[in-house]
Amino acid sequence: MADRFSITLNQLTYFTACARHLNMTVASQELHVAQSAVSTAISHLEKTLGATLFVRQHSKGLVLTRAGEKLLQDSRDIFDLLTESIDAIREDQEEVRGTLRLACFTTFGPFILPTLLQRLSERHPGLTIEITEGDYAENLAALRAGQADLAINYDYTHREGLPSEVVGEARPHVLVHADHPLAGRGSVALAELADDDLILLDLPGSFDYFLGVLLHAGITPRIRYRSSNYETVRSMVAKGLGSSILNQRPLTDRTYGGDAVVPLEISDPIPTLNISLFSLGQSQRSARVRAVADELRAVLAK
């Protein structure tokens, strides 16, 4: 006799949407159903399980209980396994289809995403990519919350407890303005910039990384300005407000304002920074994930 379950995939879908947003109204809007339908599904789910999944806070949304957190993790595994099965069947038809939610480190966007999306649209027209951009911590939080299937991040640390694959690397370089005394050099030692003010790309992870590079070279930097915007940092350098260290390197040395910056190689023995693709366990095996990973490696190889 076939197994019969008292919990439906519909109920789990409604539950995971509520868990993502911690708000039934927002979940119902995402699902395009009435809020009463979502509320009824959650109530039936709690009654079937004999456990409270959410604490309802009037005007403050929902809070997951311990039972809710356990069901959320198991639901993700169930949906990942189901997705894997569907993808495997579709692979037999030689076509990757469906939607993949991709979180991308904010400074990667202009360098990676347009070419990646172009390649994917040409090779996998049935695959839809939904993009979000954030810093290191935001992307991993989106992954853990089920709001993203993959995250492209610098690999600042291996203590995150998430499966990851190195897909590329980015060597740091120094950035100075066009009239800087060292601008005519092809490479410099970091010690030669000890007296320069620093324009710091101030993002979670980036902050510690850049300061660590300088401190390792025996430099205590004078931070003059900070910005979380990559191009703002470049523009400040171009105006002679200080020097900087960055990883991504545009093909043009002009800023948005038309001023010039000069990138210089670092002669110090500095390790490159890995670019990694982070995922949750089961999603590593899906055809969609493999398609994105393959094309991303090809983009970064260039």
Q: What is the pLDDT of residues 29-47, one digit of tens each?
A: 989 999 999 999 999 999 9
Q: Where is 269: in which H helix or E strand?
A: none
For residue 286, give the DSSP letter. S
Q: How many residues does the chain have?
A: 302
Sign of CA dihedral 200, 268, 301, 280: negative
- The answer to whether residue 252 scores a pLDDT higher than 60 is yes
In the chain, which residue ranges form alpha helices assigned H by DSSP?
Answer: 9-21, 24-31, 35-49, 66-92, 109-123, 136-144, 206-216, 230-238, 287-301
Cα atoms in the Cβ-side hemisphere of radius 13 Å centred on 146: 20
pLDDT band at 285 (very low <50, low <70, confident <90, very high): low
Phi, psi of 168 (to 5 degrees): -175, 180
What is the structure's pLDDT at 92?
52
What is the structure's pLDDT at 2?
47
pTM listed for this prediction = 0.68
Return the axis-axis angle of helices 24-31 and 9-21, rounded to nearest 10°: 130
Average pLDDT along the chain: 87
